[in-house]
Structure 1
Amino acid sequence: MDPIDPFFSKFLATTYPEIKHRHLLEGRRKWRLRAIRQFWAMPLDVKRNTYTNQLSQPEPSDESDFFTDDDLFDEITDDEAPGLGILVRTDFSNEEAWRSFLAKLKEGEDEFSPSTDEEQNTETKNYQEEPSASTSDVKMDDDEDDDSESSSDRDPGPIISILDPGPEIRPYFSDISNLAALRLLSDVDLRKITVPPNVKRFNPPNPIMDYDGWQEIYHGKTLWIYDATSNRDQSARLVSKRSDFYGTATADSWRVRVSHICELQVNLSNGAITIDFGGMDKYTYDERVRNLREAMES
């Protein structure tokens, strides 16, 4: 579990229980999103007073509900679930291109980790229930392995897990933005952000860049988005969970060829490299604009 901002954890301790009570059929991620929206809606002076007042409060337990409550997609997003990253299919118009992409992804994983068991190179989860349902209603079309082999004897599993939504929930994933994907599959957090000397504050304010000196960020596995462009060029969007420096945004993305995804994922996970979304690894402008708009609308 990634560390959460101390202030936000204390803020959740005071707001999350009531939110959960009012929206029982949702899940942890949506409840946390509702809490952060309450924070964004506060006037600046109320934000500052809330922050000051919360500093003296005790740290919530790691077993608090806002850490441990279930969420619809936990089975593929939990730290214990297979995969360092998740490939999310958001375009369903070209099955041939999708299958070609998966085949190339498997080739890349075989080249990078030739000892990986063939059956575990990709793991496809087909979710068939409405996302507004309770987490106990989730059904998946994958075959469960019922043997009693201990986890220590098993292969490490795929580098990238595959989320190919079933027909019932495809409308919720079709052509979604980076920010929408983060909100579905990652846990929201909050952090204070400082404007560097001689740098103009971002205007107009926006939660995923700078809103009253705070920024919305996310914790979870790396997300890769397969979209309509992927059908044509066999690339995917690599999504940023937080900005690297002032002027970049949470949910920025950069396109990566399928042949490079597995190697890049491993190097990102072990800290060997980072992606500079504001420098040479330039973020995709249209996706940035889309994320900024959605951050203010919801």
Structure 2
Amino acid sequence: MQYYHKPIMIKEVLNYLNVKEEGIYVDATLGGAGHFQEILKKAGEKGLVIGIDRDIESIENAKEKFKDNKNAIFVHDNFKNLKGILKDLNISSIDGILYDLGVSSYQLDKEERGFSYQKDAPLDMRMDTRQKLTARDVVNTYDKEELKRIIYEYGEERFAGRIANFIVERRKNKPIETTLELVEVIKDAIPAKARRKGPHPAKRTFQALRIFVNEELVGLEQAFKDAISLLKDGGRIVVISFHSLEDRIVKRLFNEFKKEGGLTYKLRILTSKPVVPEEEEIIGNPRARSAKLRAAEKFDVLK
């Protein structure tokens, strides 16, 4: 089954990535291959673009879609293993890398994956279906304090304690099996006044569970450091994030490498503040509303 992801801020991505013909680029979060496709066009027939994704459906879709492109390579793996991936491909350095973090539109839209709080499905939320831990496991077996920590830390949900308490009480009768069952528990936990304003009441809790289940923040900073070390002189890193936890990591790391001492390279920050989608794009794609793009260029301090 082929699917397509409408790439967020594609004009800005191509601008900051500064794709050159014959260059080597990595789309570290392939998804529906929307960004990948445009980078591939820019890189030309002599370029090479590598798409990485932990979701096998994404990889299989892209392999079928780009089967006639000899300059497209797809790897079913976690982008945190970038060094090993490139070593296996006999590639020592790259001209640019893109990260479009978070869950893809396809994963949200496919009900049985259990990412969406608007569709009834089994509580799954695994990006890589090979792993064992699911959101159902977390919701039904983790103790109240750990649930509170996860929901507060990864979802920045102020009612984390109440939600954790309501989850534990509800599962005493029977396990919470589906997304909409969990949504019902969350709505019951959040005071009516708070539910009437802001985003969907389940948004932050679902985000927290997804981040925890997929270990999205674990090793993220080291993954970016590995990518920066593999960039050529003048190579660029572009990161699109969708919540403050990711964005803080990117901002802190870019600033660290801007003044880094002891290394033979530094970063030149290309975005003094995060770039956000234009209003026209948000109207056409509401999921782009929370996106923030940061970009930086590596340069050799010895030159």
Give TM-score, length-normalised by structure 1: 0.28
Give TM-score, length-normalised by structure 2: 0.28
Report which structure shows greater RCO (CA 8 Å, sep ≥6).
1
